[in-house]
Structure 1
């Protein structure tokens, strides 16, 4: 019968040693990443529930969400910043979580580097595109048929 050593007994098996690649690196990055996950999680809860409340509970609820609704919201700098914070925090929070999973489960260095490179590129692309959409969105645009897509927030033509 094989005995299982008590945790922190100082005796590590071969499988336990293999996963200690970050130990002793002297970097405080993992501590900051851990702290970021906790703080961003709390802020994200507030941002997401605020977003859901405004979009689903106020006014006509989900039936009112259309181009005009989004255009009206994004005509306010407050909602642009709110949605920008939600986008950035959600993407960075998720990227950090997936990075941790990759570190835990990708055993070969080449696989780990490839997966993390793809993850970081996808994160940068999504954050860049999302930021551009939020700040370059034209709520008073003209539709494909030449008819202005105007709401009460647009100046008269």
Structure 2
């Protein structure tokens, strides 16, 4: 008696496969590309903040306010924020797809991940581009003189 023949794993029982975008491949490529860019952005961020100037002792509210006043650093931080949150969200999506077997639970969790990532991206972007260190400064504040200029 011979064992039944197994179908070729690449064969299709439903006829020829339609050409469509392979979102998993796009996600995989995104993870590799964003990971490389994030390494550069994060180590650049750490180098400028911790190694140049007074190092960690120089980081205070004025240092952050000064950095966020520069469009270069605003875009640097926003790019780092966007890439990191989308990279992390895609990684979480992959984990959910791998380990959650119930379709409805998987769908709810993936939606929750992307809604949360989108909200954090929106909130972080607004903070970076609308940051004003002089809001709410009163005459008894240490920032009063700097904000009067």
TM range (shorter): 0.7 to 0.9
Instruction: Indicate if the aligned counterparts of 2:68 and 2:74 stay in contact, CA closer than 8 A.
Output: yes
Residue aligned with 1:110, SS:
helix
The answer for the alignment partner of 1:97 in structure 2 is 91
Say yes or no: does 1:129 pair with 2:123.
Answer: yes
- Aligned pair count reads 136
Q: What is the alpha-carbon distance in structure 2 between the residues aligned to residue 105 and residue 116 of structure 1?
A: 12
The answer for the alignment partner of 1:78 in structure 2 is 72
Q: Structure 1: any 5+ residue segments left out of the alignment?
A: 1-8, 13-23
- Structure 1 residues 111 and 64, CA gap change in structure 2 (3 angstroms): same
Q: What is the alpha-carbon distance in structure 2 between the residues aligned to residue 151 and residue 127 of structure 1?
A: 33
Q: TM-score, normalised by structure 1?
A: 0.77
- Structure 1 residues 150 and 65, CA gap change in structure 2 (3 angstroms): farther
Q: Kindly state the Cα deviation for residue 144 of structure 1 after the two structures are TM-superposed.
A: 5.9
Across the aligned residues of Structure 1 and Structure 2, the Cα RMSD in angstroms comes to 2.4
Q: What is the alpha-carbon distance in structure 2 between the residues aligned to residue 28 and residue 43 of structure 1?
A: 23
Q: TM-score, normalised by structure 2?
A: 0.81
Residue aligned with 2:48, SS:
helix
Q: Structure 2: any 5+ residue segments left out of the alignment?
A: 1-5, 10-16
Instruction: Indicate if the aligned counterparts of 1:75 and 1:139 stay in contact, CA closer than 8 A.
Output: no
> Of 100, 106, 112, which residue of structure 1 is paired with 2:100?
106
